[in-house]
Structure 1
């Protein structure tokens, strides 16, 4: 799976998820992040548009990416404290 980072045209790029899956966050931060992902997933499911093939494909891809990210976060090792940046 690839994750896209968007910004200005010079800043947009894609990375394989395996290259960015190592994050150091606390259990509380993980819960907050997963809660946000559930919100985003619900919003995408409740979005109302004409069911064109393009919309259905796009929606399905987004929901699959969110689910994959949730699984990645749930399977990542937990840290006792967040990384100092």
Structure 2
């Protein structure tokens, strides 16, 4: 499975999911990160713009990327190992 990351304008790259680094974070850090993602998701949903096909496609992709990241963080084995520390 490939994951695409977008950076500054006109910069993006793809990585194999197996190439992604594992991070060790605490439950508190995970909660903070997930809270930030909820904020970003809400901001994207509330953004007011002309609903052109390109905008709708872009918005849907962004929301899907956020949801995928949230799911990945929630199902990460790091979550169990961090709670054992």
Q: TM-score range by the shorter chain?
A: 0.7 to 0.9
Total equivalences in the alignment:
80
Deviation, 1:42, is: 0.1
Query: Which aligned segments of 4 or more residues in structure 1 are displaced greater than 2 angstroms?
Result: 5-9, 11-14, 16-19
Higher relative contact order by CA 8 Å / sep ≥ 6: 1 or 2? 1
Structure 1, unpaired ranges of 5+: none
RMSD: 2.3
Distance 1:4 1:63 in 2: 14
Which structure dedicates a bigger proportion of its chain to helix?
2
Q: TM-score, normalised by structure 1?
A: 0.79
- After superposition, residues 21-60 of structure 1 pair within 5 angstroms as 22-60=22-60
Structure 2: which 5+ residue stretches go unaligned?
none
What TM-score comes out, normalization by structure 2 length?
A: 0.79
